[in-house]
Amino acid sequence: MPQLTQLSDVLLSQLFWLAITLGFIYFVIARGMLPKIQSTVDLRDQKIAQDLTAAESARAETDKMEEAYRERMDASRADAMKLTAAAKSDVAKAIEKKVAKADATNQAKLDKIGEPISLGVLPDRRAAAPSAGCSAGSGPWCAARGRWSCWSRPLRSRALRWR
């Protein structure tokens, strides 16, 4: 093949021009572009360092402000608790005075009456009902059966039916 036979004549020339081209590209990048890139990276590093320093100082200031706020809140809570306790004790004292005054008034009324009031149970309605059978005339309590009389039960069941 004739294409392969001429390869040995051109190979050295191509390698030479490849080396010259790559050297020129390296020189342009190293001398022209690399200093600009390096200065941009340095500026960026400086900006990041400044921002981190500013963030740390802002954080320290915020921590101080938060601590001062917490101290003020704790002091306010303590004052509020003191005021609440004082108000509770004042109200308790006022209530005790009113209860003592009411007790004294009640005791004076009892002493004036002269006889003790029995706080017994109200009279039992069952005892007042006649013991004859369960009839409409004997009232709501049927003493014979020991329960409410028959005449009141249908009223309750009708009321339940219409609900």
**In this predicted model, what pLDDT tens digit does every residue of 69-88 receive, in sequence order?**
999 999 999 999 999 999 99
List pLDDT tens digits, range 40-69.
999 999 999 999 999 999 999 999 999 999
- List the domain range (segments joined by +) for residue 65: 38-92
Q: Give dist(CA 44, CA 36) in Å, integer.
A: 12
**134 is written with which tokens?**
């369960």
The yes-or-no verdict on residue 145 having pLDDT over 80 is no
The count of domains in the chain is 2
Is 76 within the bounds of a domain?
Answer: yes
Answer yes or no: is 68 within a domain: yes
Within a domain: 59: yes
Cβ neighbours of residue 150 closer than 8 Å, sequence gap 6 or more: 134, 142
Instruction: Report pLDDT digits (tens) over 80-118.
Output: 999 999 999 999 999 999 999 999 999 888 888 866 555
Asked whether residue 163 carries a pLDDT value surpassing 50, the answer given is: no
Tell whether 2 is covered by a domain: no
